[in-house]
A and B are shown apart, each in its own frame.
Chain A
Amino acid sequence: MTNMTDEMQLLRLAKPTVGGPQPELTEERRRELLAYSASVSRRSRLGSRRLFALAAATLLSVLAAVVIVSIGGRSGDAWAAGIVKVAETAPRLLIAAPEWKVTRADEFTLNTGEMTFSDGSHQVELRWQPPVSLEDMVKDRAAESNISTTATVLGTEARVFRYSGTNDFIALWAANDHTIEVRATVSDLNSFEAILGSLRTVDVDTWLSAMPASVVNPSTRRQVVQSMLVDIPLPQGFSRTQLEQGSAVRDRYQLGAEVAGAAVCAWLNRWVAATDAGDRAGLRRAVGALATSHQWAVLLEMQGQGDYPKVVWEYADAIAADRTVTGGNGKGLPIRDTYPDALGCPRP
């Protein structure tokens, strides 16, 4: 039986052998870089004020965009405005057959997204992205395929391919503001076309309601966050507001990482501050609080799905023992320098 180690060994063995850079081109690139960096250095000394003004203008644009999104349309009271905005811009496709359920939907942004559907034995991946040249995509897919045909999907012509030597089928089409791709591994072209024929565009409420149980509905987020925090000691002044008010669709694992992470980050910030101030009582509070993380229900729930809990516990144990965490090549890494990246904490 193939195990976890085997697939990594095989992948490492399949690492392509490459020739590396040609010496003369390397020297050319080096000269170009030197010329460029010298030129930039001169410009930056002259133009730092202008760059600051540009950065400020960019920041204002971003803030304006955030405000526009946050006050965007609402489709009833069930959904927060942010997620409605995402849903309104998404293609909102579902497979209209009762056996097909959405099993993964944790990677949305305003213009791109991925969802996985499953009927218990097969999976269908749906991806959408802003419009790209469909012809370029078609040309490339065709080069790797031994079936290239068309199918009508929701009134639009889609290009359908099967990767050579596999039962992996792909359909590509352009719809409104997106390029859409559907992939599935099924027995034959007819089965794939049947799936394509079952796709339906649904309204915002129907689409959001189809999210799997593991996806936390923004309308219940406050309650879920509160339940996740119930056994987590929080430092004085810790604000739950931002955690409770997030409006994005979140997979329960991802939300758990956000919630537990907020508490861990807050305690590690306190630990750093206490260390710097020589505040022994503050140190004890931070160490003691994080020592309980081994029993936090949300982390215990998450540990079978990913390794975020292990990273939390690694840091909790490291501050308790006043030691480093083990990083690259077995080297010890200072806690204060690494925990923001390791745990996704905002830089204090």
Chain B
Amino acid sequence: VREIRSDAALLAAAGGSPELFAAVFDRHYETIHRYLERRAGRDAAEDLSGEVFRIGFEQRSRFRPVHESALPWLYGLATNLLLKHWRSESRQLRALARVEAGWREDAHDAAATHNRVDAQAVSARLLAAVARLSQGDRDVLLLFAWEELTYDEVAVALGIPEGTVRSRLNRARRSLRAVLGDLDQAKTSFSAAIRKDTG
């Protein structure tokens, strides 16, 4: 089933055969879970990931097969759930701040420690700036930057025109640039620390 059917075909036929929708689940559950985990933490991801697919099944007739993959549409459902789920932005902030914790945990190398201190400063400023964006701008930015959706895929996910996607992305980038403008040195250290860790 998985090899021979597009998501669109599976969704179209899923009403009569729920097993077909399970094939969509198999393809995309992990990706959606990771997205939710990045944005809201592991506990919320466990709660919400199944909900995304339950809603997806209910709303499968609304899926428009512009793209072969249902993933942009599922990202949209997940993003809507996040909106309703977050009681405040701070939960999100704490989830994002785990990046910093990750740096500290990985600090095996004494020579890299200095860079990591700078990296933490840049990271904190950057993520705080992300958290301060309006919800709409933040959704576009993170779907584009972290989930690597294209403009048109973000448009499908959020149900907005592609031109609006680009405008929101421009505005979000300007906000980040303003925050990072005076941190070039720290940024360099940040990048160096990352290269050392991932290289």
> Contact residues of A with B, CB < 8 Å?
1-4, 6-21, 25-26, 29-30, 32-34, 36-38, 40-41, 44, 107, 114, 125, 132-133, 136-137, 140-141, 143-144, 163, 165-166, 168, 183, 253, 257, 261, 305-312, 327-329, 333, 337-338, 341-344
Residues of A within 8 A of B50 (CB): 29, 32-33
How far apart sit A165 and B134, CA to CA, in the bound complex (Å)?
Answer: 21
CB contacts between A and B, total, < 8 Å = 213
Tell me if B29 counts as interface (CB < 8 A to partner A): yes
Main secondary structure, interface of A, reads helix
How far apart sit A74 and B173, CA to CA, in the bound complex (Å)?
Answer: 39
A13 pairs with B153, CB closer than 8 A: no
How far apart sit A133 and B88, CA to CA, in the bound complex (Å)?
Answer: 10
B155 pairs with A342, CB closer than 8 A: yes
> Contact residues of B with A, CB < 8 Å?
14-16, 18-19, 21-22, 25-26, 29-30, 33-34, 37-38, 42, 45-46, 49-50, 53-54, 57-58, 64-67, 72, 87-91, 93-96, 98-99, 102, 122-128, 130, 132, 134, 136, 141, 145-146, 149-150, 152-153, 155-156, 160-164, 166-167, 170, 173, 176-177, 180-181, 183-184, 187, 190-191, 194
- Chain B min CB distance to A47 (Å): 13
Residues of B within 8 A of A18 (CB): 34, 37-38, 42, 45
- The 8 A-B pairs with the shortest beta carbon distances in the complex, nearest first, are A308-B163, A307-B166, A306-B167, A140-B90, A344-B161, A37-B18, A29-B50, A140-B88
Contact (A308, B167) CB under 8 Å given A11-B145, A37-B14, A338-B152: yes
Residues of A within 8 A of B122 (CB): 10
Residues of B within 8 A of A114 (CB): 134
Contact (A7, B176) CB under 8 Å given A38-B18, A166-B128: yes
Of all chain B residues, which has the CB nearest A343? B161
Residues of A within 8 A of B64 (CB): 341
| B124, B162, B181 pick with most chain A CB within 10 angstroms | B162
How far apart sit A15 and B38, CA to CA, in the bound complex (Å)?
Answer: 8
Residues of A within 8 A of B194 (CB): 13
Residues of B within 8 A of A7 (CB): 126, 173, 176-177, 180
Residues of B within 8 A of A12 (CB): 145-146
Q: Which of A8, A29, A168, A308 contacts B128 (CB 8 A)?
A: A168
How far apart sit A33 and B74, CA to CA, in the bound complex (Å)?
Answer: 15
How far apart sit A84 and B122, CA to CA, in the bound complex (Å)?
Answer: 44
B54 pairs with A341, CB closer than 8 A: no
A328 pairs with B152, CB closer than 8 A: yes
How far apart sit A304 and B95, CA to CA, in the bound complex (Å)?
Answer: 35
A33 pairs with B25, CB closer than 8 A: yes
Of all chain B residues, which has the CB nearest A5? B173
Of all chain B residues, which has the CB nearest A260? B163
A137 pairs with B161, CB closer than 8 A: no
- Chain B min CB distance to A55 (Å): 12
